Structure 1
């Protein structure tokens, strides 16, 4: 049974604690600020498994040298619309923010721009990047490859990662649409949380080591995640890895190192950021009117269950963010104690 009690922390304090933690782990101030921006947005969206709780796993790899705290991230302009970012084995969200800015620069110049990143690590969820892009008027398609946790369709061992893929569409006068999904039915972090809390899992989430569906989180962590939509999810995961790993000249499939099994070795993850400058498509009022109408058509569909009205992608996360801006971020007390421990270390 889950008996954890959540605490509430003001957004400014949560960000300050995150910055202190990453600076204590060796990141320069500007780099720490980039990392914290992504992870705090994840917490604001309610994605706590990918928020500042990641200080623990990132910190282990930073201390062991598996992640380069002093990464010299470089960007090369391949063409006016294509950027190549070398993350120098830096912290994933830091590399992700460099790639996001590179793609924005390319899209401003050409209307559409893409940045490929290599030499990176786990970069958090996609939605914070898509949100930041949307705030600047960019539509986005963003993805990353990942450590192998999914078997090929019909295969019996892990050969591809649970690669996240996301989309964002800005709304100049309202909430952007944000779709952020991994290629498995659930993220591996949810299975770890179920194990920690002593809970079983649905049999549709994962298999055991022999490829049989299981309700045991322990067996699932020793087995494989199940892809969304069966063979279709498998195909999508491959395409994300082709864009993120192959085209970026990063590692791909089984060439990606596991941050769990080899925390002291570089992962060489790859990411891609495809951005469209919607301001070059038409006036803000034009897009706002169309986005508002688009959402209204969906919202106006009579709900099967009145307590669960129709929503659009990103609506839940953006509502959570607005509530937590006002009332403070819901955090795990154990994570709060961990972060405050870094503050004590700096005193």
Structure 2
């Protein structure tokens, strides 16, 4: 059984970039991908951090991802761009799309980038954070491999499509919401199965679409959308924007990386950016955000040990702590990254 090793964010970023470059990615592209994934680890989203690099590289060896992809941008209007990821590693594509939307938002106040030809781009929070650092509010979403049945259905047709919304706080931490569309992640169900524990019947259904407390039946079935039909509706709308409007795959037209790792997924993403300085001067926004946060923070808690928090506050506290003290990374992941980093291509 492996444990964790504390490593500085700078060292982890360098190791991750070398692991990618050692397998043929350019140094610039490797650095972009490493930045997104290390931010994920800093926020504590370890399932979507540097641990994904071996999966990305395994898919690349099978031809499912192009490590040499050249992301192409078609600016179709002053504030609107289409981005073709050319089947590149998702965080590389997402990083370029964020830059494109930021440039449009700086010029016009609003910027939108619709992305096709991508792959798993990590969690949404790193992109929201990078936008907020520069004073931009953002709405960012992606479609995903099918794991959710349409409301009332008994066959997976929808992805657990992540949606993020962020608003900057001049001089302080932004407010960041990063959610997927299921009540619980499959990773939690797998953990319950490994521990021999039952799960709440609101997490998933069996293969016949019936709610179940058996994690094995749940893994053979479908995730339940958060809020029932409302989560289903949100997942549909994310796919319409990220999939249909972008020109990417959608619903069952998306290839599964786990079933067919050698095939391009053609995932779609969408980035909407707003230059908040063009709406509210920085000092005024800081005052309004501080007042907003204060109203929520001073809410009497139902449990004194659990004070009211803003979305993303827990992850941002972990970000600051781990930036100072180091990031825990699984020893097995570090070993594989070191192996990749020492490769000569």
User: Could you say which TM-score interval applies, normalised by the shorter chain?
Assistant: over 0.9
Q: Does structure 2 conserve the Cα–Cα contact (< 8 Å) formed by 1:25 and 1:63?
A: no
Per-residue Cα deviation, 1:199-240 (whole angstroms, up to 9, x for no partner): 543332212222233344433222111100000000000000
Structure 2 SS opposite 1:90: coil
- After alignment, is 319-328 or 11-20 more displaced? 11-20
- After alignment, is 135-144 or 21-30 more displaced? 21-30
Look up the match of 1:279.
277
Over aligned residues, Cα RMSD in angstroms? 1.6
Q: Given the alignment of the two structures, is residue 27 of structure 1 paired with residue 25 of structure 2, yes or no?
A: yes
Look up the match of 2:327.
329
Output the CA distance in 1 between the equivalents of 2:82 and 2:111. 11
Output the CA distance in 1 between the equivalents of 2:130 and 2:157. 32
Aligned residues: 345
**For structure 2, which runs of at least 5 residues remain unmatched after alignment?**
none
- Residue 340 of structure 1 and its aligned partner are, at CA, apart by 1.9
Residue 178 (structure 2) aligned to one of 147, 156, 180: 180
Look up the match of 2:205.
207
Structure 2 SS opposite 1:305: coil
User: Where does 1:35-184 land on structure 2 (aligned, <5 Å)?
Assistant: 35-184=33-182
- Residue 111 of structure 1 and its aligned partner are, at CA, apart by 0.6
CA 1:198–1:332: 2 relative to 1, 3 Å: farther
Structure 2 SS opposite 1:140: strand
Look up the match of 1:304.
302
Q: Does structure 1 conserve the Cα–Cα contact (< 8 Å) formed by 2:21 and 2:341?
A: no
Q: Given the alignment of the two structures, is residue 317 of structure 1 paired with residue 306 of structure 2, yes or no?
A: no
Output the CA distance in 1 between the equivalents of 2:126 and 2:267. 18
Output the CA distance in 2 between the equivalents of 1:120 and 1:287. 35
Q: Does structure 1 conserve the Cα–Cα contact (< 8 Å) formed by 2:2 and 2:332?
A: no
- After alignment, is 336-345 or 74-83 more displaced? 336-345
Look up the match of 1:17.
15
Structure 1 SS opposite 2:343: helix
- Residue 30 of structure 1 and its aligned partner are, at CA, apart by 0.9
- After alignment, is 273-282 or 188-197 more displaced? 188-197
- Residue 344 of structure 1 and its aligned partner are, at CA, apart by 3.6
Look up the match of 2:259.
261
CA 1:317–1:197: 2 relative to 1, 3 Å: same
Q: Does structure 2 conserve the Cα–Cα contact (< 8 Å) formed by 1:138 and 1:276?
A: yes
Output the CA distance in 2 between the equivalents of 1:68 and 1:195. 35
Look up the match of 1:238.
236
Look up the match of 1:341.
339
CA 1:65–1:193: 2 relative to 1, 3 Å: farther
Q: Does structure 2 conserve the Cα–Cα contact (< 8 Å) formed by 1:25 and 1:62?
A: no
Question: Structure 2 length as normaliser, TM-score?
Answer: 0.96
